[in-house]
Every structure is written in C-alpha cells, then in structure tokens.
Amino acid sequence: MQYIDEYRDSGRIKALAEAIEREALHPWQIMEICGGQTHTIAKYRLEEMLPPSVRLLHGPGCPVCVTPSSIIDFALEIARQSNVIFTSFGDMLRVPGSKADLLQTKARGADIRILYSPLDAVNLAAGNPDREVVFFAVGFETTAPVHLTALKEAERRGLKNFSLLCSLFAVPPAIEMLMNQEDNAIDGFLAAGHVCAVTGNSDYRVLTKKYHCPIVVTGFEPADLLYGIYLCIKQLESGRSELENAYKRAVPENGNPAARRLMDECLEAAGREWRGIGAIPESGFILRKKYAGFDASEKFGFLKNKKNLIIENADNQCIAGKIMKGAAAVSDCPFFGGLCSPEHPVGAPMVSDEGVCAAFFKYR
Amino acid sequence: MDFSANCPLPFSASDRVLLGHGSGGRLSHQLISEIFYPAFANPLLEQDHDGCVFPVEKGRLACSTDSFVVNPVFFPGGNIGDLAVNGTVNDLACCGALPKYLTAGFILEEGLPLADLQKITLSMQEAALKAGVSIIAGDTKVVERGQCDRIFINTSGIGFVPDGVEIAPAKAAPGDAVICSGQIGTHGITILSARESLGFETALKSDTAPLNHLISRLLAEIPDIHVLRDPTRGGVATTLNEIARSANVGITLDEALLPIPEAVKAASEILGLEPLYIANEGLVLVILPENKAVKAVEIMRRFDEGRDAAVIGRIDSAGKAQVRLKTIYGGHRIISMLAGAQLPRIC
C-alpha cells in the first residue's frame, strides 16, 4: 500500500530505533496522547525496540474510552424509544453504561445500527421521515468536523428528524490537566497528528512555552512514531521545549481552516467529564444554541444545564484513569486479562481497539 | 371461427414467492417441479418419499450441517446458493471425508423474486456438480415478509471417510508446518464492500469454492496430514486458536509470509479490521509434519483454488495453547480469539 508501506519499512524502522538509542543518554518518559498511536505501538511492539531508558506512557486519547457512562445511559434511554433509529460507529456499542451497553439494548429490540459515516445517518433520516434518527457523535477534534458536516447536510436538506448526541472532547485541556498533576512524570508529549491536521499547531506551541515541555506532532505508522520519539528525545537531551512537526505530510501549521470554521460556527467549548479521569473545564464541545434542533440532548431532554456536564459515579476500582494519566501501567491493574478482557470489559479502555488496555490485551 | 384451448390466465400469475409456496399444496409442488427438481435432478431425489433412502459403503461416515444467512444474497464471486453447497462440502472435506450427499432446507421470505430463487438454485446445482455431490433431499418453508431476510439456506451433508485417514485438530504437534491454501480475507471484504452502506468498491471476489478435490488429492499423496480446517467465520486467527486449544500447542505465524492481497490490506486499514479475523470461504489450513510441507504446497498449487498456497507458520511448542505472530520487525505478539463481532474502529 503506497503511503503506508514506506512507513512500515523494516530498514527505516531499524535505523530510527538505533538513532533513538544513540540520542537517549538519560531516562525519559514520553506520553503519546492518541489511542491510534497506542494501537500501533502495541501492534508493532515498538516499545521492545526502544532503549530501557525511554519509557512510553499511554495517554487518554481514545474518545470511546473517555465518554462517561452517564452519556451512554442517556444514549440507551434514547435508543429504547420506539420512534428512534439510534446510529453509531461500531466500537461504541460494547462500551458499558451503568447497567447495560448498546449491543445488549439492541438485542432487546432497540433499533440500533452501526454506520461507517454520519452522512449515512442523514440519508437514513431522509428515508425514514416518521422516525427520529440520532447519531452518536463521539470524538476529538479529528472527527468533530465529520459530524458537523452531517449536521449541515441535514440542515441543507431541511431534515427535522436528525440529531447528534455529542460526546466531543478537546486534546489541549487534557494535556494541561496532565501537566498540572501532582508528581507529573511526563517529560514530553507526542501530539495526535490527525487532531492537529484539523486544529493546527498553535495551541500546542502555547503549551510548550507554558509548561516547558516538548511536544512533537506525530503520525500513526511505526516509522512516524519512532521519528516523533526521536525528535522528542533530541529536544529533551538538548534542554529545548518546542513544538515540532514530525508529520508534515498530513499536518499544515494552521490545520484545516474549513474544518475549523465549521467547528467555530457550530460548537462552543464546555466542561466535560472524562471517564476514569474526572471533570476537566472547557475540555470538550457542545452544539451552539442555534443548532438546538439538531442536538439530541436538547431534543430528548438530557440535561437542563449543559455547562455543568455530568458528574460521573465512581465507576469501580478500575485503574484506567491512572493508566491514562501515565501514573500506572497496564500491568499494574489487578483486573487486566483476568476479570477485565474485551469480552467483559470492566473499564472503557478495554473496549475500543484504541483503548490502551484493549491494545495491550490484543497484542500481548 | 378460431378457438384456443389455452387458459387465458397463466398458471403462475406471480413472479414472486407467496406464502402459498410453503403451504404444501399446489404452489409448493409447482416450486418443486419447476425450480428444484429441474436443477437438482437425480434418481435419489426423485424417490417421492418423505426422505431419501440410499446405500452406504463400508467404513466410516462423516456428517456436517451449516446454515447460510449471508447479506447481500448475491455478491461478486458467488451467491448464497454456491456458498451453501461449498460450505458443507468443505466442512466434510476437512473431516477427511469424500463428500457425497447433501440436503437443502430453504426458508424463503414472502416476496422473494422467483427469478432470484431460480438463479440461486442453479448455482447450487453448478457447485454440487463441481464438487461431485448430489442433493438428495430438501425442504421449503415460506415466512411472512420481514420475518427473514429474503432467503436462508441450510445444507447438511454426508461423506465417506477413506480407511487410514485420521484428521483431528488434537493431532497438531510441535514440528508441524501450517499451510494456508490461498489469499486471506477476500470473502469477508467482498461481502463488506458489497453492502450498500459502505460506499467503497474493490475488485475483489469472494473465494467461495469447493476444496474437496484438492483435499482428497492431498490425502491420497500425503496420508499423514494431521489437521485440516477451513477458516470461515472468525478467520485464520480464530481457527488456529481453536486448533491450539484442541492440541494444547503453541502456533507461531510469520507476518512476512501471510498471503494477504493488497485490496484486503487497504480495506482493512480503512475499516479498522484485522485480515486474520476476516472470514474466508474457499480456504483451508493444512497442518502436517514439516518435512511434508514442500510437497503439500506443490500439490495444492496444481489446483486453481490452491495456486497461492504457502507455508505461513509452524507449531513450535507444546503444553500451552497460544497463537503468536512474528511481526515484520522480529517482535512477537499474541493473536487471540475474536471477542464478539469484529467492530470497526472509530478514528
């Protein structure tokens, strides 16, 4: 596959691993933010190629994993209504709410459908004018514009029976939260290339200055990740803390202006509860008032005051939150691989392939 | 004055399956005499019994059953009909049997175009001819619209196991090679891309094919084959995990040797799927002593359905059931059983 095979080439991988080994003179802990990157690291066993002094921490960047169970409970409540077709990407279906998940609810008769694109949900709404079609819009800045494109398309076609149930998160506030932790042990970050491809790099540049911490915008193939790690370590060894772009083939400095305009037009920042981590101010997005007609939480009366979103019940003794903050390793979890597995996830990161626990379970 | 003896109304006014086609009455008989009998014609089928009486050879019989509910019913490379025949033929062949007789049970949704049923029936017969099996009994039920998805087919089959053939998953042993008969993942990706909602196209075709001729040739030339399995649902990964559990052995696959077509790789990347978990319909995994592997691959490559046959791994330990993959960078990772349905990733 062109544009993929080059970044999996074993000669290139070996050269990068050697370069990292040469540069890394001190112990460093680097966190990759994005679940897609965690997936690649686990799949290709990249940690085995790093010198022992370089440790990777696996961050909270899987939107499926950080969606709180209260939103899932609300999704189930909507999906159970007989006039509703509830649609979602596949990996939300097994994420547990407080009592059930979408797959179980589907088996009990709810009309829940897996789609590959929110635009398919718009077509579904057009084809079923007497039903309410709700799409579960879960994601970071990467997927938000896709959901909003569907919303605009529904608006253009005058559809009144289409809405989004938003669970949208922003990455930079999560990095700030991690940096502000007591005993924060993160020396540098690999930022998620796909997120920056939308938002651009400026927010991250601000963070490097504020926290004196290097951030390298990084891609998702094995060579991309090793190159990101390499640049990060070079910065750390020379005492620099800058924003560097190791994924220039996808990330322009200003991101995608059209996508950003769309987000500005439709979304406003809001506090969000991150499953396993807690509430982070201004760490996500909700639809602006003028799009209330497309907002499932308005339509189905989810929350009166969306600004103070959701207080999560303490889920259980799952340590997923600590893992996603870099304060614990997957191997520290007493449930991992035993009580908690992809068949019976205790915590959400065991559900999605991009969840840190599932990635490491799958590629043990 | 001219006069015609023809009835002004044709006997069959409907070009679609009606509830009456499953009633056992005239419409049922019409279905049998106009669609099923002409296609499946053979003396055993035409005994007009409630069932079929047939002679058996001395020795051991193998029996298998499988139900087919594929959506879409027609897809590049085949349809539910040849899939239903090949599926049971291959299950029998993987028991080491020579498949001989099949039965076919149809559950039809009211409204199914009769032309579709005819097309499906004819491809069943074509597949049966190709595999050298006869369809010797059948049944049809019709359910109301919405109670099944157009057509479901069950096939059951009987085959004869030649003396001396002992195939069993538990026989996999350290030192055995694992051979895959062809390209991995084409059926599953073909079906996915044929579903309207996905909006992407590939040039792939389903690999559905009868494997009994290839397998019987293999068994004739290499009698000490240990395991034969067709990696259908759950794919190569799940099938090998089942074998590892039955034999309590460790299996290691070599990522660099896996015959995965570019189109399957690319579609899997887009959809967030793993090719090793994707369903195949015309593939067999052969496990046999390593010193017979070269010969086996050479035999398999003589057949169309085995032209891409290759060794993909080996059984390298006993005492712990595990499937591992040696990555292209030399690391190892565990290939576990599929948990539930393979769900697409989000971003």
Beta-carbon contacts of B136 under 8 Å, excluding residues fewer than 6 positions away, are B42, B44, B45, B52, B54, B101, B102, B103
Which pLDDT belongs to residue A33?
Answer: 93
Partners of B269 on chain A (C-beta within 8 Å) are: 1, 4
Q: Is the CB of A93 less than 8 angstroms away from the CB of B334?
A: no
Q: Is the CB of B343 less than 8 angstroms away from the CB of A114?
A: yes
Beta-carbon contacts of B10 under 8 Å, excluding residues fewer than 6 positions away, are none
- Do the beta carbons of residue A303 and residue A324 sit within 8 Å? no
Asked whether the predicted pLDDT for residue A311 surpasses 80, the reply is no
Which pLDDT belongs to residue A318?
Answer: 77
Smallest Cα distance from B32 to chain A, Å:
36
**How many Å apart are CA A143 and CA A322, to the nearest integer?**
25
Q: What are B55-91's pLDDT values in tens digits?
A: 888 899 999 999 999 999 999 999 999 999 999 999 9
Select from B331, B339, B340 the Cβ nearest to the Cβ of A45.
B331
For residues A343 and B185, the model is more confident at: B185
- Do the beta carbons of residue A55 and residue A328 sit within 8 Å? no
Q: What are B207-217's pLDDT values in tens digits?
A: 999 999 999 99
Phi first, then psi, for residue B326 (nearest 5°) are: -85, 115
Q: What are A58-114's pLDDT values in tens digits?
A: 998 888 889 988 899 999 999 999 999 999 998 899 888 888 999 999 999 999 999
Angle in degrees, 0-180, between the axes of helices A35-43 and A222-237, rounded to the nearest 10? 110
- Looking at this protein, which amino acid is placed at residue B123? S
- Token match 């796909």: residue? A194
Residue ranges of domains in chain B: 19-161, 169-334
Which pLDDT belongs to residue B12?
Answer: 54
Which pLDDT belongs to residue A198?
Answer: 97
For residues B57 and A115, the model is more confident at: A115
Average pLDDT over residues B254-281: 92
- Looking at this protein, which amino acid is placed at residue B287? I
Q: Report the first-to-last Cα separation within chain A, whole angstroms.
A: 26
**How many Å apart are CA B73 and CA B25, to the nearest integer?**
27
Partners of B332 on chain A (C-beta within 8 Å) are: 45
pLDDT grade, residue B3 (50/70/90)? low
Phi first, then psi, for residue B311 (nearest 5°) are: -75, 130
- Looking at this protein, which amino acid is placed at residue B164? G
CB-based burial of residue B6 (10 Å sphere; 0-12 exposed, 13-18 middle, 19+ buried)?
exposed
Predicted-complex ipTM score: 0.74
Which pLDDT belongs to residue B347?
Answer: 45
Smallest Cα distance from A240 to chain B, Å:
31
Neighbours of B216 (CB within 10 A): 18
> CA-nearest residue of chain A to B262?
A1
B169-334 and B19-161 share a CATH fold: no
Q: 3-state secondary structure string, chain A?
A: CCCCHHHHCHHHHHHHHHHHHHHCCCCEEEEEEEHHHHHHHHHCCHHHHCCCCEEEEEEEECHHHHCCHHHHHHHHHHHCCCCEEEEECHHHCCCCCCCCCHHHHHHCCCCEEECCCHHHHHHHHHHCCCCEEEEEEEECCCCHHHHHHHHHHHHHCCCCCEEEEEEEECHHHHHHHHHCCCCCCCCEEEEEHHHHHHHCCHHHHHHHHHHCCCEEEECCCHHHHHHHHHHHHHHHHCCCCCEEECCCCCCCCCCCHHHHHHHHHHEEEEEEEECCCEEEEEEEEEECHHHHHHEHHHHCCCCCCHHHCCCCCCCCCCCHHHHHCCCCCHHHCCCECCCECCCCCCCHHHCCCCCHHHHHHHCC
pLDDT grade, residue B46 (50/70/90)? confident
State the CATH class of domain B19-161: alpha beta
Select from A13, A194, A341 the Cβ nearest to the Cβ of B347.
A194
Asked whether the predicted pLDDT for residue B343 surpasses 70, the reply is no
Which pLDDT belongs to residue B8?
Answer: 45
Query: Where do the DSSP E strands lie in B55-208?
Result: 60-68, 74-75, 78-79, 98-109, 134-143, 151-161, 176-180
What are B227's strand-pairing partners? B287
Residue A25 lies in domain: 1-364
Smallest Cα distance from A328 to chain B, Å:
22
Partners of A64 on chain B (C-beta within 8 Å) are: 346
Q: Is the CB of B331 less than 8 angstroms away from the CB of A1?
A: no
- Do the beta carbons of residue A247 and residue A224 sit within 8 Å? yes
**How many Å apart are CA B23 and CA B15, to the nearest integer?**
17
Q: How long is chain B?
A: 347
Which pLDDT belongs to residue A95?
Answer: 87
What are A54's strand-pairing partners? A28
Partners of A93 on chain B (C-beta within 8 Å) are: 343
Q: Which of A257-271, B25-39, B189-203 has the lowest mean pLDDT?
A: B189-203
- Please give the share of chain B, as a percent, with pLDDT higher than 90: 73
Partners of B343 on chain A (C-beta within 8 Å) are: 90-91, 93-94, 114, 353
Q: Is the CB of A342 less than 8 angstroms away from the CB of B346?
A: no
Q: Is the CB of B346 less than 8 angstroms away from the CB of A13?
A: no
Select from B198, B272, B340 the Cβ nearest to the Cβ of A343.
B340
pLDDT grade, residue A305 (50/70/90)? very low
Residues of B with CB under 8 A from a CB of A: 197-199, 262, 265-266, 269, 271-272, 327-329, 331-334, 336, 339-340, 343-347
Partners of B255 on chain A (C-beta within 8 Å) are: none
> Domain count of chain A?
1
**How many Å apart are CA B312 and CA B33, to the nearest integer?**
48
Q: In terms of Cα–Cα distance, which of B71, B232, B55 is closest to B153?
A: B71
Q: What are B120-178's pLDDT values in tens digits?
A: 999 999 999 999 999 999 999 999 999 999 999 999 999 999 999 999 999 999 999 99
For residues A132 and B193, the model is more confident at: A132
Partners of B346 on chain A (C-beta within 8 Å) are: 63-64, 89-92, 138-139, 143, 352, 354
Average pLDDT over residues B289-304: 98
A222 touches chain B (CB under 8 A): yes
Cα radius of gyration rounded to whole Å, chain B:
22
Q: What are A175-184's pLDDT values in tens digits?
A: 999 999 888 8
Which pLDDT belongs to residue A310?
Answer: 43
Asked whether the predicted pLDDT for residue A274 surpasses 50, the reply is yes
A163 touches chain B (CB under 8 A): no
Beta-carbon contacts of A161 under 8 Å, excluding residues fewer than 6 positions away, are A125, A128, A129, A130, A131, A132, A133
Q: In terms of Cα–Cα distance, which of A146, A145, A150, A152 is closest to A123?
A: A150
Beta-carbon contacts of B41 under 8 Å, excluding residues fewer than 6 positions away, are none
Q: Report the first-to-last Cα separation within chain B, whole angstroms.
A: 78
pLDDT grade, residue A314 (50/70/90)? very low
Which pLDDT belongs to residue A309?
Answer: 44
For residues B1 and A209, the model is more confident at: A209
Select from B198, B265, B346 the Cβ nearest to the Cβ of A64.
B346
Average pLDDT, chain A: 90
CB-based burial of residue B61 (10 Å sphere; 0-12 exposed, 13-18 middle, 19+ buried)?
middle
**How many Å apart are CA A5 and CA A223, to the nearest integer?**
10
Select from A14, A45, A143 the Cβ nearest to the Cβ of B327.
A45
Q: Which of A194-208, A234-248, A288-302, B1-15 has the lowest mean pLDDT?
A: B1-15
**How many Å apart are CA B278 and CA A12, to the nearest integer?**
29
pLDDT grade, residue A275 (50/70/90)? confident
pLDDT grade, residue B345 (50/70/90)? low
Which pLDDT belongs to residue B197?
Answer: 63
- Token match 């019913």: residue? B73
**CATH number, residue A225:** 3.40.50.11740
Q: In terms of Cα–Cα distance, which of A304, A70, A276 is closest to A167?
A: A70
How is residue A218 written in tokens?
Answer: 């990084």
Neighbours of A1 (CB within 10 A): 12
- Looking at this protein, which amino acid is placed at residue A226? L
Q: What are A17-27's pLDDT values in tens digits?
A: 999 999 999 99
What are B176's strand-pairing partners? B289
Give the torsion through C-alpha atoms of A231, A236, A242, A248, to 10 deg.
Answer: 10
Which pLDDT belongs to residue B196?
Answer: 64
Give the count of alpha carbons within 13 A of B17, CB side only: 30
Asked whether the predicted pLDDT for residue B5 surpasses 60, the reply is no
**How many Å apart are CA B276 and CA B128, to the nearest integer?**
29
Neighbours of B29 (CB within 10 A): 13
A343 touches chain B (CB under 8 A): yes
Which pLDDT belongs to residue A61?
Answer: 87
Residues 23-62 of A with CB under 8 A from B: 36, 39, 42-45, 48-49
Q: Is the CB of A48 less than 8 angstroms away from the CB of B346?
A: no
pLDDT grade, residue B344 (50/70/90)? low
Q: Is the CB of B327 less than 8 angstroms away from the CB of A13?
A: no
Asked whether the predicted pLDDT for residue A306 surpasses 70, the reply is no
- Please give the share of chain A, as a percent, with pLDDT higher than 90: 68
Which pLDDT belongs to residue A325?
Answer: 82
- Looking at this protein, which amino acid is placed at residue A34? C
**How many Å apart are CA B150 and CA B116, to the nearest integer?**
10
- Do the beta carbons of residue A65 and residue A324 sit within 8 Å? yes
Average pLDDT over residues A297-322: 62
Which pLDDT belongs to residue A165?
Answer: 97
Partners of B263 on chain A (C-beta within 8 Å) are: none
pLDDT grade, residue B337 (50/70/90)? confident
Which of 3.40.50.300, 1.10.533.10, 3.30.70.1140, 3.90.650.10 is the CATH number of B169-334? 3.90.650.10
Q: Is the CB of A90 less than 8 angstroms away from the CB of B332?
A: no
Partners of A352 on chain B (C-beta within 8 Å) are: 345-346
Partners of A13 on chain B (C-beta within 8 Å) are: 329
Partners of A362 on chain B (C-beta within 8 Å) are: 334, 336
Neighbours of B76 (CB within 10 A): 16
A223 touches chain B (CB under 8 A): no
Neighbours of B178 (CB within 10 A): 27
Select from B198, B334, B345 the Cβ nearest to the Cβ of A363.
B334
Partners of A142 on chain B (C-beta within 8 Å) are: 347
For residues A165 and B47, the model is more confident at: A165
Q: In terms of Cα–Cα distance, which of A76, A107, A103 is closest to A91?
A: A103
Which pLDDT belongs to residue B11?
Answer: 46
